[in-house]
């Protein structure tokens, strides 16, 4: 299993290159989240990203009536994802916007942006530059610590793929292709793409990974 942290620091880079920086604006303390959190940045799953990209490639191949390529791309998607529910359980999170759901999700792509309620000053330039440098070298957890210590708040957004339904849709697509039901197979693959959800978290409310029963 390989994980890739795809944290985008473009917002920080743009601010620094433009010579403007963001400083903390005092606000009322936010209510603590209703879910378990972690200090570390979310870790992403290459297997989930692979499933989404290969499912899309298989759909394109079906559209072009290239059945062999569609089968190949689908096989590639399944080869890494079949054991996701067990092998990647330490990366799963629940949907914080739907606590009643028992679905497990895998983060596969992430971005990071400064919140909108900040005013530009020169006070935290050093902290922002240090955090950006750490992100560039892959030290995401250290970058978060720098931002937290400097009281520079950010929003962390993650694209999430549901584990169980994705495995089911990929299985269905393969069965339908084997049966020559290409339109139905395309719909099963489209369901993989449609199942992706995007959630945003405050810097101190990153959900705990691997705590889903």
Kindly list the structural domains of the chain, giving each domain's residue range(s) and its CATH number in brackets, ordered by start.
10-22+36-202 (1.20.120.1940)
pLDDT in tens, 42-100: 899 999 999 999 999 999 999 999 999 999 999 999 987 876 667 788 999 999 998 88
Helix (H), strand (E) at residue 165: helix 163-178
Question: Helix 182-194 to helix 46-63 angle, to the nearest 10 degrees?
Answer: 150
CA gyration radius, the chain:
20
Q: What whole-number distance in Å separates Cα of residue 212 and Cα of residue 43?
A: 15
DSSP calls for 43-100: PPBHHHHHHHHHHHHHHHHHHTT-HHHHHHHHHHHHHHHTTHHHHTGGG-B--TT-TT
At 125-161, the pLDDT tens digits run: 777 778 778 777 877 777 877 777 777 777 889 999 9
């Amino acid at each position: 299993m390989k994980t890739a942290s795809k944290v985008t620091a473009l917002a920080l880079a743009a601010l620094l290159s433009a010579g403007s920086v963001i400083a903390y604006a005092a606000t009322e303390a936010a209510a603590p989240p209703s879910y378990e959190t972690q200090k570390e940045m979310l870790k992403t799953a290459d297997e989930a990203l692979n499933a989404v990209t290969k499912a899309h490639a298989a759909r394109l191949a079906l559209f072009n009536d290239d059945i062999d390529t569609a089968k190949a791309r689908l096989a590639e998607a399944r080869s890494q994802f079949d054991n996701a529910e067990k092998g990647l359980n330490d990366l799963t999170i629940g949907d914080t916007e739907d606590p009643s759901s028992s679905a497990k999700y895998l983060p596969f792509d992430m971005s990071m942006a400064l919140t909108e309620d900040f005013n530009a000053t020169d006070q935290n330039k050093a902290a922002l530059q240090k955090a950006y440098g750490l992100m560039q070298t892959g030290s995401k957890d250290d970058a978060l610590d720098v931002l937290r210590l400097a009281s520079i708040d950010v929003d962390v957004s993650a694209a999430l793929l549901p584990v169980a339904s994705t495995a089911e849709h990929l299985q269905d697509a393969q069965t339908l292709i084997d049966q020559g039901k290409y339109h139905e197979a395309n719909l099963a693959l489209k369901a993989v793409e449609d199942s992706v959800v995007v959630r945003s978290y405050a810097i101190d409310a990153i959900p705990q990974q691997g705590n889903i029963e």
